[in-house]
Amino acid sequence: MNNTKGKPIHIDQVIFGKVVLQDTMKNQKKQNILVTDYINEVKAGYGAVIFNGAFSKNNYDCPLVILDDNSNHNLSLNENDIVAIYPNGEIILLYRQGWKDVTLFFTNQCNSRCIICPQTSNIEDKGNFLEFNKQLLDILPCEIEHIGITGGEPTVFKEDLIEIIKYIHEIYPNISISLLTNGRALKDK
C-alpha cells in the first residue's frame, strides 16, 4: 500500500518532502517531513510532521497529520522516502529510497474518453501538475535512472510537457524518459 490517511492540522495545500525519522537541527528543513512517535519533543522547522499516536494538544502550529489507532494506516516510511500530504490528510508515497524509476503524473485530462480506461478525468481539474512535478524533481536523488510521464494524456498540455522534459534534462542530462500517451496529438509534428 502506497498511501494512508490521517487527521490533518494546519494543512491547506499539498505539502511534499523527504521523510526524516530523527528530530535533529540538521533535519529541520522545509523540504523535510518528520515522522515521529514523540510529538511533545518536536521542534519547528519542518515542512510537516506525521505523528503516530493519540494527540491531545491543539496548540501545535506546524502542518501535522495524526495517524492514530483509528486511521487504519499501514504505510511504512523509511528515511529519505518522498511523500505528498494533501489537505484532506491523505499521505501518498511518491518515491521510496533506492528506487531507480520514478513516474510523474502529469494531468487528469485526456483527449479521448475510452470506456475501458480506469483513469477518470476530473472536469473541475483544468490543468496539470507541472509545478508539483518540478518541485518533486528538485528533491529526488541523483541515482534515478528512468523517469516515466503519464496521466490522463500528457500531450494535452503540449507546451508544459516540453517544459517538463527540458527541466528533467537540466537535472538529469543523461536519463531516459518514457511517455505514456495515446499518440493522438503526435500526428501533428
Using an 8 Å Cβ cutoff, are 4 and 65 in contact?
A: no
Cα-based angle 138, 91, 119 (whole degrees, multiple of 5): 85
pLDDT top residue among 38 and 87? 87
Q: What is the band of 100 on the pLDDT scale with cuts at 50, 70, 90?
A: very high
Q: How far apart are CA 172 and CA 170, in angstroms?
A: 6
Using an 8 Å Cβ cutoff, are 162 and 169 in contact?
A: no
Predicted confidence (pLDDT) per residue in 125-170, tens digit: 556 789 989 999 999 988 899 999 998 899 999 999 999 999 999 9
Residue with grid cell 503540449, as numbered in its chain: 158
Using an 8 Å Cβ cutoff, are 84 and 104 in contact?
A: no
pTM above 0.95, yes or no: no
pLDDT at 76: 87
Q: What strand order describes the sheet that includes 146-150?
A: 101-105, 146-150, 176-179
